[in-house]
Structure 1
Amino acid sequence: MSKNPCHIALIGATGSVGSSVLDICRAFPEKFKIIFLVAHRNALKMNDLIHEFHPIGAALTDREAASILRTLQSEVSVYETDDDLEYIVTHPEIDHVVFASSGTAAIKALQKALLADKNVSLANKESIVVAAPWVMPLVRRTDQLRPLDSEHNAIWQCLQGEDKETVEEIYLTASGGPFRTYDQKALRHVTPEMALAHPVWDMGYKVSIDSATLMNKGIEIIEAMYLFDLEHTQVKAVICPGSIVHGIVRFTDGTLKMAASTPDMRLAAATALSYPGRLRLSALPQIMPLSVHSLTVQFYPPDEKLFPCLALAKEAARKKGPYPSLLVGADEVAVDAFLRREISFTQISLVIEQVLSSYNDNAPQTLEESLIILERGRERARALIRSAGRCGKERKSYDR
C-alpha cells in the first residue's frame, strides 16, 4: 500500500457492498482510513457514518438528500454534483477508490480515478457492461482495477501469477437463487417477496431479483469478458448451491483452479483492499472459516430454458455492440415493474427479449452513444409494459 493507513474514497457507502467494505475498515483501522463517503440519498445513514469514520468529506448525489444532510451535521463538507464526485476520486489524499454503487452514474468518475492512477476496487457491473471500451483502456497498471464482486474477485485471485494465454475458460458460479428447483408452472406464481428471499446472499432489491432470474450471472459473464479480456465462449456459468466456490479457471493443460470461501462479501473486500497482502480475518469472528474436512461441493449446469434471462445475456455477450447496453436498460425497467407488480416474474425475460429483438441500429462509437442506447432499452421496456395493460393491479413499491 502507498500509505499506512491506505486512504479510501467509498462510492456506495450505504449499500450492502459498501457496508462490507466498511466492516473491513472498522476491523483494521490501522490499515484503512475513510477519507470520503459517497451515497445516493440515505442522509440518516450517511450522517451516522460521518460520526463514526470522520471523513474529510461526504457526498449524496440526490440534491434534496444532500440538503438534509447539511442540516444534520456540520462536521464535514457535503458534496452533491458529478463534478464533486470527480473531485473526490482524484483528490490527492486518496490512494484507493471503491465503487460499490449500482447504475451508470459513476462511470465518468471511474474513468477519472483510473486516469489519476488511483487503485480501484469495482463492484459496479454496469460500468463495465455498458462502458468497457471506454474504461478498460484507461487501466494503467496490472491489478490497478480489482474486482470486488465475489465471483470476479475469485477469478482475479485464480489468475494471479498465471499466463493469460494458458487460460482455456472460466466458470462463474451461481447459487441458483430461490427457485432453482421450481418448474415453469411454479415460476408463474412467484411474488416479489419470494424473489427477494435469497437463500445465500443479503443483497439489494435489484440484484436479488436478477439473481432469482439468473440475469445477474448473465450480466457477470459480459463483465468478465471485458475484465479478463476473454471471448464469450471462454466465460461460462455453473450452479453451485451454497455458493462455497465462487470462481473456477480451467487451464490449457486441463488443470482446474478454484477459489472457495464462506459466502461473505467482506472476504472479497478484504482481498481487494489489502492486495498484494492478505488480512488475518480473525478480527471478524462472525466469519466462519471453511474446513477441508467438511467441504463437499457439487456443480450443476444452469437451466437456460427455465431461466431465459441467462440465455439472453449470453446472446448479448456474443453479439456485443449495442446489445449489452440494451440488456442492462431493459432489465432495469423490467425488474422494477415486477417489484411494482406490473408484470409477472416470467414476463421479465419476455420484456427483455422483445427489446433486444426489436433493435436494429448501429453499435455505439462513444460512451455517450452507449448511454443513449441504454436509455433506449429503458424506454422500449417501459412502452412494452404499458401496452401489457397490467397497471391497475395493487402495487407495493420496493424503492432503493
Structure 2
Amino acid sequence: MADRETGVVILGSTGSIGRQAAEVIARMPGRLRAVALAAGRDGARLLEQVRRLRPEAVALEDPEAGRAWRPALEREGVKVLVGPGAAEELAAWPGATRVLSAITGAAGLRPTLAALRAGRDVALANKESLVAAGALVTRQAAAAGVRIIPVDSEHSALFQCLQGRSPDEVERLVLTASGGPFRGWPAEALHRVTPEQAVRHPNWSMGAKISVDSATLMNKGLEVIEARWLFGLPASRIGVVVHPQSVVHGLVELADGATVAVLAPPDMRQPIQYALCYPERGPRLVERLDLAAVGKLTFEEPDTRTFPCLDLAYRALEAGGTAPAVLNAANEEAVAAFLAGRLSFPGIAETVAAVLAAHRPRPVTGLDDVLEADAWARDQARARVAAGAPGPGLR
C-alpha cells in the first residue's frame, strides 16, 4: 500500500479518458489527488470537476472559453491559465509526480514532452505523441530518467504481461482489436456509413475520433506504432488479432512457446487506475470478469482488404522518419472531414493513403521536423478533401 498520495495532473480532463480518470481519482482519496486539470474549451464540465476534485490549478486552451469561464473558476479558489500553451505549463505543475496525457491527437505532443522534461512520469493515453514523435518522446523520457506508462487497454495489458520479464524471453506481442461496428461488412456497404453509425462502438465508451479510428482499424495501426516505441520491438514482432468480445486485451508470446495475456471487462477505469498507481495496484473499481457469462472468446485475422488503414500504419512504420507523423496528421484531418459530412467513410483510408504516397520521409532530428511534416500532411489532406478526389495511394 502506498504510504503517500500521488499528485496527478490530468491533461484533457473533460474528454472521455479524462472524465474516467477523474472518477478513479475521486474514488481513491489518500492514494491519488488531482493537483491540476487542463481542458480545451468545455468550461462547464471543468467547473464540475473543480468542485469535485479541488485541484490547485486549471487550464482552458481555448481563449474564448477561458474568458467566459475564468470568473466562475476563480471563485472556486483555483489558479486559472488560459490560451495556447496553458496545458504545457500545467504539465510541469509543482506537487505532481504523475501526468496523465489524455489530450486527443497531435495537440498532446507538446504537453507530453513538457511533462517529461519536468521530470514527471507520464501515464500516456495520447498515442499520437509516440506515433508522430516516438524517438523524441522516448529519448526525452530516458534523458529525464522518468517512465512512460501506457493507458490504452491493449498496451496496458502488454505492459502488465511484461513485468519481471527479460527481453530475451519475449518473442512477439499481439494487440487485440474489437473489429469495430462494421466488422464483416462488405466493402461496398461502407460507402453508406454515417458518422452516427461509426461512433457507435460495440464495446467501449470512447470519444468520436477514436471511435472512428476503431471502425477503420486505424486505431489499431496507431497502436502498433505506439507499441514499437513503448516496448522496443520491430513491426515484424507486433501482431494484431480481431477479438470481438474485447475481454482479452493483449497477449505476449514467450520464447518457450507459452502465451500470457490480460483479461478484464472492457472498462477503461482499470488501465487508467493501473497507470496512475503503478507499480502498485489499487482496489477494484470495475465489475468482476464473469467468463461463464461471456460464454466464448473468439479470434480472427483482421480484414485489411476492406479496412486498409492497418496496413497503411505498418507501411508508415516501415518507412520511418516523418512518415508516421504524416499518417497521423492526414488521418486526423480525414476523420474530421468525415465527422463533418464532407468525406465518405472509405474516403478516410483513401485520403491517408494518397497523402502518405506523396510524402518523402525525412529523418526526425527534432520537434520542428515533426511539426513541419504534420502541417504539410494536414494541408495535403484538406486540399484532397476539398477537391473531392482523395486520389491514388491504396494498393
Q: Give the TM-score of the pair, scaled to structure 1.
A: 0.92
1:126 matched to which residue of 2?
A: 128
Show the 5 A alignment for 1:233-382: 233-281=236-284, 284=285, 287-294=286-293, 296-360=296-360, 362-382=362-382
Moved more, 150-159 or 269-278: 269-278
Q: Report the equivalent of 2:161.
A: 158
Tell me if the contact between 2:120 and 2:146 (Cα under 8 Å) persists in the aligned partners. no
- In the TM superposition, what is the alpha-carbon distance from 1:387 to its structure 2 partner? 1.2
Shift of 1:111: 2.1
- Letter of the 1:278 counterpart: R
2:313, 2:319 → 1: CA distance?
Answer: 10
Q: SS state of the match for residue 197, structure 2?
A: helix
Matched residue SS, 2:240 = strand
Q: Secondary structure, in 3 states, of the residue corresponding to 1:248?
A: strand
CA distance in 1 between counterparts of 2:321 and 2:356 reads: 12
- Could you tell me how far apart the structure 1 residues matched to 2:353 and 2:34 are? 42
The match for 2:214 among 199, 211, 214 is 211
Measure how far apart 1:22 and its partner are. 1.1
Aligned Cα RMSD in Å? Answer: 1.9
TM superposition score normalised by structure 2: 0.93
Q: Secondary structure at the match of 2:115?
A: helix
Q: Residue 149 of structure 1: CA displacement?
A: 0.7
Query: Alpha-carbon deviation of 1:343?
Result: 1.6
Q: 2:194 aligns with which of 191, 196, 200?
A: 191
Aligned to 2:24: 24
Structure 1 distance, partners of 2:303, 2:269, is 30
Residue-by-residue CA offset, 1:5-50 (whole Å, 9 max, x unaligned): 2111110100110111111111111211111011111011111111
CA-CA distance at 1:113 after TM superposition: 2.0
Q: What is the DSSP-based 3-state SS (H/G/I as helix, E as strand, rest coil) of the residue aligned with 1:247?
A: strand
* Residue identity matched to 1:290: L
| Structure 1, unaligned runs of 5 or more | 391-400
One-letter amino acid of the counterpart of residue 16, structure 1: S
Look up the match of 1:229. Answer: 232
Note the 1:16-95 alignment, pairs <5 A: 16-74=16-74, 75-81=77-83, 84-95=86-97
Unaligned 5+ runs, structure 2: 391-395
- Check conservation: 1:155, 1:248, Cα contact below 8 A: yes
> Following TM superposition, by how much is the alpha carbon of 1:255 offset from its aligned partner in structure 2, in angstroms?
1.0
Post-superposition Cα deviations, 1:114-146, rounded to whole Å, max 9, x if no partner, equal: 233222100001111111111101224887210
Letter in 2 for 1:289: R
Verify the 8 A CA contact 1:114 1:120 in the aligned structure 2: yes
Once residues 275 and 365 of structure 2 are traced to their aligned partners in structure 1, the CA distance between those partners, rounded to angstroms, is: 32
Residues of 2 paired with 1:149 and 1:203: CA distance? Answer: 12
After superposition, the C-alpha distances for 1:295-314 in whole angstroms (9 at most, x for unaligned) are 53111110100101111111
* Deviates further, 159-168 or 259-268: 159-168
Q: Structure 1 residue 145 and structure 2 residue 148: aligned?
A: yes
Is contact 1:2-1:95 (8 Å) kept? no
Asked if 1 retains the 8 angstrom alpha-carbon contact of 2:322 and 2:369, the reply is: no
Cα distance change of structure 1 residues 84 and 354 upon mapping to structure 2, 3 Å threshold: closer
Q: How many residues align?
A: 386
Runs of 4+ in structure 1 over 6 Å off: none
- From the superposition, tell whether residues 83 and 378 of structure 1 become closer, same or farther in structure 2 (CA, over 3 Å): closer
Instruction: Give the counterpart letter for 1:186 in structure 2.
Output: A
Alignment partners' CA distance in 2, 1:60 and 1:84: 7
Q: Which amino acid aligns with 1:337?
A: A
**1:81: Cα distance to partner?**
4.3
Q: 1:298 to 1:71 in 2, by over 3 A?
A: same
In 2, the alpha carbon distance for the partners of 1:221 and 1:361 equals 19
Matched to 2:367, the amino acid is L
Matched, 1:11 2:11: yes
C-alpha distance 3-91 of structure 1, shift in aligned 2 (>3 A): farther
Q: Aligned partners of 1:312 and 1:366: how far apart in 2? A: 24
